[in-house]
Amino acid sequence: MLAAAAIAGAQDATATPTPTPTPTPTSTATPTPGAPANEPVLSSPPQLEKLVSAEVPPGTVFPAPEVAVVLAIDVSATGAVEDVRVEQGAGEPFDSAAAAAARRFTFTPGRLSSGEAVPVTITFRMRITAPVEAPAEAAAPPPRPVKLSGRLLERGTRKPLADAPVAARSEDGQETLVRGTTDAEGRFALEVPASRFVLVGVPAGHERLEARVEARPGEERDETFYVESAVGSNVSVVRGERVRREITKQVIPADEVAAVAGTQGDTLKAVLNLPGAARTAFGGELILRGSGPGDSAAFIEGLEVPIAYHFGALRSTFAPRFMESIEFIPGNFAPDYGRLTGGIVNVRVRDPARDALHGEADFNLYDAGVAVEAPLSSTWSGGAAFRRSWIDTLLPLVIPKDSNLSFSTAPRFYDYQFLATWKPEARDTVRFLFFGSQDRLVAVLDRPVGNDPSISGDFNARIAYHFLQSTWTRTFSPTFRQETWIGLGLQDLDTEIGPSLFFNLSTRRLDARSTWSWQARPWIEGRAGLDLQSAWYDIALDTPQVPKEGEAPAPISSQSARITASTSGTYVAPAAFAELRFTPRDGIDVLPSVRVDWNSSISRWSVDPRLMARWRVAPRTALKGAAGVYQQPPQPDESSSFSGNPDLLPKRTYQYSAGVEHQPLDGVQLELTGFYKDLSRNVIRNLAAAVDPSQPRYLNIGTGRIYGIESLVRARFGERFFGWIAYTYQRSFRTDRPGEPERRFSFDQPHILTVVGTWRPSIRWAFGARFRLVSGNPYTPISGAIYDANGDVWVPIRGATNSGRLAPFDALDVRVDRTWTYDRWRLSAYLDVQNVYNRANPEGWQYNYDYSQRARLTGLPILPILGLKGEW
């Protein structure tokens, strides 16, 4: 696979004109929103393995004690230097000497988060210092040298500062006595021919270390030095490109968005601020590019999880500690994924720390959590995290004492992650990831509530999942690679309302995926894989029929026709996919692909051909386009024999998108993408079944269309500022039955504007804000009501579906972070204030018993959330 990435930014290195050991430069790369929106994550920039000193002719006159030459070095995917260019010269003979030396450098290749080695261009500042004058004849025997060894660690995190130049200078700073470089663990050792000197360290991206040392001649000392990281210095920006398999794929590094206002540090919540994601009031659904909530899904390393957020949208069910990045693809995704017609959100998990024991303890209004990670051996590293909510402690404080509601188990959630990584050699990585989540509450409703007498008695809700995923990745050669994982899981959903309504589903899952890629020639690459979802389930239910999108829920008491079953079954959905990548000329990629799915619930095959193309028309501008077929099996209740119609077809969407990316200047990226989706075979309730039970409950008779434009401006200026402006214009319509008028989709939000920014003036403070302005959701007006005497409920008479629209939503969230850094740990506190100006945003209507009066149902008022986190 031909892939190219580039790093720009200052990197300091020193070199002397004499062949003495010289410090090795450190390359720090932080992929950021300042990078192009769809950039891969460069997790491991090239590391300099061999530094060659620049040699200038003897007798060269230096204009200053030190001159610097800034070089652009193209490092190939194998780590070899392909080309060197002088970006900022110091004149001859320094430029030629620096370039000649750099051509003899060798690197370990830069790697993406996927492990793939990619070509990278780095900017390298080479300092050439004037040769030290030969010391004068000693009048007396030199003192015995001081043997100083030690470690350079980042202050607060104790992260080893590898490849950092260190030197011992004379007390007056005029003379360098000896030089060295820290190793991978941040260690160094110097023999200093003086007993009083100044230790100088210049780790990239950190403050300069200057420590005065006084020792006895011949003394051996070992010390640890903590160096503070520096905001805005030595930060590289990825601005290269790699093969894109999706034309709109936002890769969000987890630590980047941890401080986004309004998300309480929850990375998975932050992605909902990207273009294409509709705002949801309650529920935390993924509404991507106008598709229904069930048409998109969240994945952890490719493994689909049943619920992405605790209790609607309070927190994500996978804690951010071990998140590396999040892939957000609102549509036209690659053939690796199927069974969906919307979009996907995939969490990439990082490996545990391999340098030292690290951890954190986190406490905030919602929950408290703890995490640890450490190397277990030279090849193993492990980590664990656990989080539990506080809601059950706080909720009783706000519920009135005379309330009709009492909790025997107040709402609470927990989630956990255990992971272990084994890297027996560079080309193999094996990872075990065990993670899970549970939301639970048990309540007692002394009397019926709302407008429905059926809703009373015990209320029990429990949603839990537990997965064990084992992944093996092997890079057979730079052009041949595979990744295979298998996942075992348990899912439980138990819901009980009152004595007769319940839904209990217990599922054992076996999922697997294997992807193989081979780059036969630089211009062609093939990728193929298998993707399996399977499940064994036990289900017992007695429920009314669940309303579908666009349908209004009817009071439970008014529904005499219940769905009852108690059964077991299996579900198998294997799939195979293949993709080719042609690069007919530099800058053009064409990716045809196909995916074939089988689904046992409807006993049908589906074949989804897809095509993506990308053309870099200028160094900073690319055009892109994609088209494809996306098919999705019906929901289980739609295709089951006891509640639905097993003869249904998968619903189908033709998706088209085209766009442009442009980088007007370093750190700023613009994206504009238009899309159109043609929906057919939507599963719709068969009204005839209400009259004649022998009729199928659902039919593939619905259609729809969705179109829109997504725009994104992302900016990152060092580590001081990052942010983005996302604006989406989209319309989404459905036609439920032939001959019926087209209606709005329930989350049709024409305008979605989100502005996010975080400013870090120093390492101690960060200030963030988020502003959202979003069209109100459609709603179905109610013109009257009929009294259902059997159920003692009023049944509304509704107008045209979704013909009304709520007032727009707008809210400003702000966040302040303060960090105290100590040598061995770091404490941070944040105040995240949602809805600062306390706007009463309408989220729906609340009606009286006979629907003759209504009042706005408003969203959260101003809500300050305070959090504390200690990291070590």
Partner 1 sequence: MIVRAVRLVPLLLAAAGCGKEFTPRSVVVDTRVLAIVAAPLEVGPSDSVTLTAWRVGPPGGAIASERWSFCPFSVGATAGYACAVPECEDGIPLPPPALATAYGPSNPLTASPGQLAQQCLALLSASGALPAGVPAQLPDRVEVLFRYRVTAAGSVAREAVQRIPLYLAGAPADPNVAPGIASVAIGAPTDVVWASGASTGLVPVLRSGETLDVEVLLAPGSAQTYVEGDRTLTEQLVVSFYTTAGRFDYDWANGPDAKVKLEGKDLAAGTAAATVWVVARDLRGGETVAGPIALSVVAP
The four Cα atoms 718, 723, 727, 733 give a dihedral, to 10 degrees, of: 110
The answer to whether residue 862 forms part of the interface with partner 1 (CB under 8 A) is no
- Shortest Å distance, C-beta 319 to partner 1: 18
Alpha-carbon 380 to chain mean position: 25
Q: 456 or 749: whose CB is closer to partner 1?
A: 456
Considering only 306, 331, 359, 776, the residue that binds partner 1 (CB under 8 A) is 306
Considering only 18, 282, 570, 840, the residue that binds partner 1 (CB under 8 A) is 282
Considering only 184, 687, 807, 840, the residue that binds partner 1 (CB under 8 A) is 687
**Angle made by CA atoms 198, 201, 203, in degrees to the nearest 5:** 170
Q: What is the 3-state secondary structure (H, E, C) of 781-803?
A: CEEEEEEECCCCEEEEEECCCCC
Site for partner 1 in 714-773 (CB under 8 A): none
Considering only 393, 566, 603, 762, the residue that binds partner 1 (CB under 8 A) is 566
Residue 447 makes CB contacts below 8 A (sequence gap 6+) with 404, 456
The answer to whether residue 804 forms part of the interface with partner 1 (CB under 8 A) is no
Compute how many residues bind partner 1; rule: CB under 8 A: 89
- Shortest Å distance, C-beta 642 to partner 1: 9
Q: 90 or 286: whose CB is closer to partner 1?
A: 286
Structure tokens given for 300: 């952890």
Q: Per-residue x/- mask for partner 1, residues 619 to 658, rule CB under 8 A?
A: ------------------x---------------------
Give which of 385, 236, 219 is closest to 316, Cα–Cα: 385
Q: 205 or 634: whose CB is closer to partner 1?
A: 634
The answer to whether residue 792 forms part of the interface with partner 1 (CB under 8 A) is yes
Site for partner 1 in 310-339 (CB under 8 A): 311-312
Q: Which residue has the tokens 């064409």?
A: 590
- Shortest Å distance, C-beta 688 to partner 1: 2
The answer to whether residue 131 forms part of the interface with partner 1 (CB under 8 A) is no
Site for partner 1 in 67-106 (CB under 8 A): none
Beta strands in 397-500 (DSSP E): 405-425, 428-445, 457-477, 480-497
Site for partner 1 in 434-493 (CB under 8 A): 439, 441, 443, 445, 447-451, 453-457, 459, 461, 463, 493
Considering only 357, 520, 786, 800, the residue that binds partner 1 (CB under 8 A) is 786
- Shortest Å distance, C-beta 692 to partner 1: 4
- Does the N-terminal peptide bond of residue 93 adopt cis geometry, omega within 30 degrees of 0? yes
Site for partner 1 in 372-411 (CB under 8 A): 399-400, 403-405, 411
- Shortest Å distance, C-beta 537 to partner 1: 12
What is 716-785 written as a DSSP string? Answer: EETTTEEEEEEEEEEEEEEE-STTSPPEE-TT--SEEEEEEEEE-SSSSEEEEEEEEEEPPPEE--EEEE
Q: What is the DSSP letter of 80?
A: B
Judged by CB under 8 A, the stretch of 370-378, 500-508, 667-675, 761-769 that binds partner 1 is 500-508
Judged by CB under 8 A, the stretch of 23-31, 43-51, 307-315, 608-616 that binds partner 1 is 307-315
Q: 315 or 716: whose CB is closer to partner 1?
A: 315
Q: 551 or 678: whose CB is closer to partner 1?
A: 551
- Shortest Å distance, C-beta 686 to partner 1: 7
Q: What is the DSSP letter of 285?
A: -
Between strands 315-316 and 380-389, the pairing is unpaired
The answer to whether residue 690 forms part of the interface with partner 1 (CB under 8 A) is yes
Considering only 143, 824, 852, 864, the residue that binds partner 1 (CB under 8 A) is 852
Site for partner 1 in 532-561 (CB under 8 A): 542, 546-547, 551-555, 557-561
Considering only 476, 605, 787, 822, the residue that binds partner 1 (CB under 8 A) is 787
Residue 249, CA distances (Å) to 109, 329, 377, 772 in order: 25, 5, 36, 22
Q: 572 or 689: whose CB is closer to partner 1?
A: 689
Number of Cβ atoms within 10 Å of the Cβ of 240: 20
Q: 314 or 769: whose CB is closer to partner 1?
A: 314
Q: What is the DSSP letter of 642?
A: T
- Shortest Å distance, C-beta 747 to partner 1: 13
Residues in the chain: 872
Give which of 816, 714, 653 is closest to 274, Cα–Cα: 714
The string over 492-523, giving b where at least 16 C-beta atoms fall within 10 Å of a residue's C-beta and e elsewhere, is: bbbbbbbeebbbbbbbebebbbebbbbbeeee
Helices and strands (DSSP H and E) totals, the chain: 5, 54
What's the rounded Cα separation, in Å, for the pair 106 and 115? Answer: 19
Backbone Cα Rg of the chain: 31
640 touches 601 (CB < 8 A): yes
- Shortest Å distance, C-beta 780 to partner 1: 11
Q: 603 or 695: whose CB is closer to partner 1?
A: 695
